[in-house]
Amino acid sequence: MMEGSEAKSPRPRARITGAVYLLYFVTASVSQLLVSRKLVVYGDAGNVIADAVYIVLALLLYFLFRPVSRNLSLVAALFSLAGCAVGILGTYHLVPRHLNPLLFFGPYCILIGWLIIRSTFLPRLIGWLMVLAGLGWLAFLSPPIAKHFAVPIEGIGILAEASLMLWLLVKGVNEQRWKQQAML
């Protein structure tokens, strides 16, 4: 049986999730631009804001994918929250250098991809792209791989997350299929 919040239309919530995703992309991109222009303090502040936006995004995605698998969606959200925490603390040099946020964002992308694949309300292709992106982020942790394959790995990651963001923003979710999955 659907709970009160799940009985509501998921399409506006999916579009809000897409808008928050877009806000993250803009904030993270501007932050990277600031850092590359030697405006590190502003870039670091922007990265903290981007991580805060990503925390909101992780929570929104948890609720969006909860009908697919409550437990798997929760685990994915926890990986994302841990990655954001490491990112924020890393900005202030409060975590060991070897603890990279990608250690958490790789599994997060894999789990979100798997949830999309198992869902009936989003295109499976986006799910496979997210799984591939997550595997790429984990491979990126190896210096030799990062050195030789940085551009393709980053490209796949951006393509996967941008595809999900744009789909949510423009199309939302298949409302009927989302509600059917929520009723199971």
What are the pLDDT digits (tens) for 123-155? Answer: 999 999 999 999 999 999 999 999 999 999 999
- Mean pLDDT of all residues in the chain? 93
Give the model's confidence band at 5: pLDDT under 50 very low, under 70 low, under 90 confident, else very high. Answer: very low
* Per-residue model confidence (pLDDT) at position 120: 92
Side chain identity, residue 136: G
The structure's pTM equals 0.92
Distance in angstroms (rounded) separating the CA atoms of residues 74 and 157: 22
Concatenating the DSSP letter of every residue in 56-102 gives HHHHHHHHHHTTT-HHHHHHHHHHHHHHHHHHHHHHTT-S-TT--TH
Domain assignment of residue 172, given as a range: 8-183
Domain membership of residue 61 (yes or no) is: yes
What are the pLDDT digits (tens) for 34-59? Answer: 988 999 999 999 999 999 999 999 99
Distance in angstroms (rounded) separating the CA atoms of residues 36 and 172: 34
Domain membership of residue 1 (yes or no) is: no
What are the pLDDT digits (tens) for 65-78? Answer: 999 999 999 999 99
Give the model's confidence band at 7: pLDDT under 50 very low, under 70 low, under 90 confident, else very high. Answer: low
Per the structure, how many domains does the chain have? 1
Using CA atoms, how far residue 182 sits from 4, 69, 169, in Å, is 11, 10, 21
Concatenating the DSSP letter of every residue in the chain gives ---HHHHS-HHHHHHHHHHHHHHHHHHHHHHHHHHHTT-HHHHHHHHHHHHHHHHHHHHHHHHHHTTT-HHHHHHHHHHHHHHHHHHHHHHTT-S-TT--THHHHHHHHHHHHHHHHH-SSS-HHHHHHHHHHHHHHHHTTSHHHHHHHHHHHHHHHHHHHHHHHHHHHHT---HHHHHHHHH-
